[in-house]
């Protein structure tokens, strides 16, 4: 009997220890975030002199990336370590906090419950190392100037006023981050004047990287009072890094110069009275072509201008690789068109041929526009314009075709500077049926008569569908879809939007949106689709 009892007890112990413990299934999912029971110091404590901050919760919690998510303002430059102990989190700082200063510890979503990972909401501790709490507040909204969309998780900073302020090297004194609606609020700040500046801060180092981070700022100082106004900052990309040659790519057939950023235009001056064909292959790459005869090396002076209008000059030696073997391997000669093949054409149309190499010879009498079986019009009968590097040809033409239009390019009709040609190529476009398209008409209300404007029709992905340079506008032959209008003040009259530059205190050219999108249907005309500009813009 005793032996049987003993075996049963041992079996229970063995299987009890081996059984896996699991969370009970079923029941309602816990969606309640952890609640803060108390903190040490207590919120809004005065004369705090300690180096430890501890939080106590009503359930077990975890810590998630607290070094990234905990925001301490003003910038303390005070390293800390943390310890998680079940239902509490303890922060131990290396140094005491600066005297007579109000500090805010905003934890964001760094602390979550153990079971369902629900983040604690609005978790913040405020204390002062002096006898009073600072009561200043600065709040507002950030949006992208080109899309008018709110910007999430951008750094908004209050900077001490200085003639030598450099946001690429100096962190803000107070700061906050925007929510999903682009809103920010910086609270418990000293009541005085600051510079208000926002940056994307993608790498979260609290410094401005002009290469790939947007920036927004106010030119004037702001007052951080208890009754502050709401500020709206337009964010824009402004790569003001100096232009330089990043690398060169010498080959047998060509020599490429790659710049560190996009350039708008390049002027080339051949020093030795030599000459080589060249083109701007893409916004960052200038390519020279090796054609015979030429010396072993060619010296050129380059004047390069970026999108901000800043120019730089370079002396560059062009030296091709030596040829090995009998045949030189050339890059294939290619062509593209604007509009693309199969896109409809109106009766009066503008057409562009784009080549990947400069063109040496064009047989304009052999290239024909075919509108029907009997009508073949040579390219030579239409007005033509080449660009400076002879790789883009613009044609204005008219066609009365009923169904489609074709460009027929026979083999050998176009010869590049490298002596190669295109195979026989045919570009076909349907004739545009007006019943399948709509029209939008409107005007700029409150437009300044002394200022030029650029009005753009954009789709839901902010792609520009059509552009007009007038206070009144009519967009014809627009496909059915949802659209929006935006107007740019072209302050310098150069026909494009110009960005700003934070270091120079230069704001971008203002952009105004028609706030609501509209649906354009086929064979419909929408009138009085107006953009109402603010008065005294």
Q: Are residues 146 and 121 in the same domain?
A: no
Q: Are residues 516 and 475 in the same domain?
A: yes
The CATH number of the domain where 227 resides is what? Answer: 2.60.40.10
Q: Are residues 477 and 498 in the same domain?
A: yes
What pLDDT score was predicted for residue 296? 76
What pLDDT score was predicted for residue 226? 66
Residue with tokens 């600051």, as numbered in its chain: 194
What's the number of domains the chain is made of?
Answer: 5
> Domain range for residue 351?
335-432
Say if CB 45 and CB 53 are below 8 A apart: no
Q: Are residues 175 and 94 in the same domain?
A: no
Residue with tokens 């007006």, as numbered in its chain: 434
What pLDDT score was predicted for residue 11? 46
What pLDDT score was predicted for residue 53? 97
Rounded to an integer, what distance in angstroms lies between the CA atom of residue 473 and that of residue 468?
A: 6
pLDDT in tens, 237-273: 988 888 999 999 999 889 999 999 999 899 999 988 7
Q: Which residue stretches of the chain have pLDDT < 70?
A: 1-30, 226-227, 293, 326-328, 537
pLDDT in tens, 334-382: 999 999 999 999 989 999 999 999 999 999 999 999 987 778 899 999 9
The CATH number of the domain where 267 resides is what? Answer: 2.60.40.1220
Say if CB 444 and CB 455 are below 8 A apart: yes
Q: Which residues contact 304 (CB under 8 A, 6 or more apart)?
A: 243, 259, 263, 265, 266, 267, 311, 312, 313, 314
- Supply 19's token pair: 């059984």
pLDDT in tens, 424-446: 999 999 999 989 999 999 999 99
Q: Are residues 140 and 228 in the same domain?
A: yes
Q: Is there a cis peptide before residue 293, judged by omega within 30 degrees of 0? A: yes
Through-space distance between the first and last CA atoms of the chain, rounded to whole angstroms: 100
Query: Is residue 198, in this structure, part of any structural domain at all?
Result: yes
Query: Is residue 22, in this structure, part of any structural domain at all?
Result: no
DSSP helix/strand/coil, 17: helix
Instruction: Could you list the beta-strand ranges (E) of 10-119.
Output: 36-40, 52-57, 61-63, 71-73, 80-85, 88-93, 102-106, 111-113
What pLDDT score was predicted for residue 301? 95
Say if CB 409 and CB 363 are below 8 A apart: no
Q: How many CB atoms lie within 10 A of CB 411?
A: 11
Query: Is residue 17, in this structure, part of any structural domain at all?
Result: no
Beta bridge partners of 402: none
Task: At 6, give phi and psi (nearest 5°).
Answer: -65, -40
What pLDDT score was predicted for residue 35? 94
Rounded to an integer, what distance in angstroms lies between the CA atom of residue 219 and that of residue 423?
A: 58
What pLDDT score was predicted for residue 327? 67
């Amino acid at each position: 009997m005793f032996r049987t009892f003993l075996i049963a007890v041992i079996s229970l112990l063995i299987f009890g220890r081996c059984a896996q413990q699991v969370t009970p299934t079923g029941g309602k999912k816990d969606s309640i975030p952890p609640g803060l029971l108390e903190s040490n110091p207590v919120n809004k404590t005065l004369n705090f002199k300690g180096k430890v901050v501890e939080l106590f919760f009503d359930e077990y919690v975890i810590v998630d990336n607290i070094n990234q998510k905990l925001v301490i303002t003003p910038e303390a430059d005070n390293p800390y370590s943390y310890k998680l102990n079940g239902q509490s989190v303890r922060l131990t700082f290396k140094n005491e906090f600066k005297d007579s200063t109000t500090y805010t510890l905003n934890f964001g979503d760094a602390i979550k419950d153990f079971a369902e990972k629900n983040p604690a909401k609005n978790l913040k501790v405020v204390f002062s190392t002096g006898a009073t709490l600072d009561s200043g507040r600065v709040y507002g909204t950030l949006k992208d100037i080109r899309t008018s969309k709110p910007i999430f998780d951008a750094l908004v900073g209050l900077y001490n006023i200085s003639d030598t302020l450099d946001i690429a090297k100096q962190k803000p004194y107070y700061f906050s981050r925007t929510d999903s609606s682009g809103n920010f609020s910086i609270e418990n700040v000293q009541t005085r004047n600051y510079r208000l500046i926002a940056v994307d801060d993608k790498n979260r180092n609290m410094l401005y990287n002009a290469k790939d981070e947007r920036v927004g700022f106010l030119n004037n100082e702001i007052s951080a009072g208890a009754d502050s106004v709401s500020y709206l900052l337009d964010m824009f990309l402004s790569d003001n890094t100096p232009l330089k040659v990043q690398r060169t790519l010498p080959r047998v057939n060509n020599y490429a110069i790659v710049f560190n950023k996009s350039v708008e235009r390049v002027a080339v001056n051949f020093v030795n009275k030599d000459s080589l064909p060249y083109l701007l292959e893409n916004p960052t790459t200038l390519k020279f072509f090796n054609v015979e005869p030429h010396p072993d090396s060619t010296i050129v002076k380059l004047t390069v201008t970026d999108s901000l209008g800043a120019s730089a000059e370079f002396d560059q030696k062009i030296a091709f690789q030596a040829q090995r073997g009998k045949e030189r391997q050339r890059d294939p000669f290619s062509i593209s068109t604007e509009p693309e093949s199969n896109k409809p054409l109106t009766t009066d149309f503008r057409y562009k041929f784009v080549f990947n190499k400069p063109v040496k010879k064009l047989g304009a009498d052999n290239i024909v526009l075919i509108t029907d079986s009997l009508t073949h019009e040579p390219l030579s009968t239409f007005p033509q314009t080449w660009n400076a590097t002879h790789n883009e040809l613009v044609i204005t033409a008219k066609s009365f075709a009923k169904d489609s239009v074709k460009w027929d390019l026979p083999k050998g009709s176009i010869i590049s500077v490298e002596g190669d040609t295109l195979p026989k190529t045919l570009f076909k476009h349907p004739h545009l049926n007006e019943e399948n398209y709509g029209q939008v008409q409107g005007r700029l209300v409150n437009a300044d008569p002394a200022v030029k404007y650029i009005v753009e029709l954009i789709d839901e992905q902010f792609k520009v569908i059509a552009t007009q340079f007038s206070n009144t506008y009519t967009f014809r032959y627009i496909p059915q879809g949802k659209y929006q209008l935006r107007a740019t003040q072209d302050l310098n009259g150069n026909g494009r939007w110009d960005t700003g530059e934070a270091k120079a205190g230069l704001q971008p050219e203002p952009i105004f949106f028609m706030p609501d999108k509209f649906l354009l249907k086929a064979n419909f005309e929408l009138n009085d689709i107006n953009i109402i500009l603010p008065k005294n813009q």
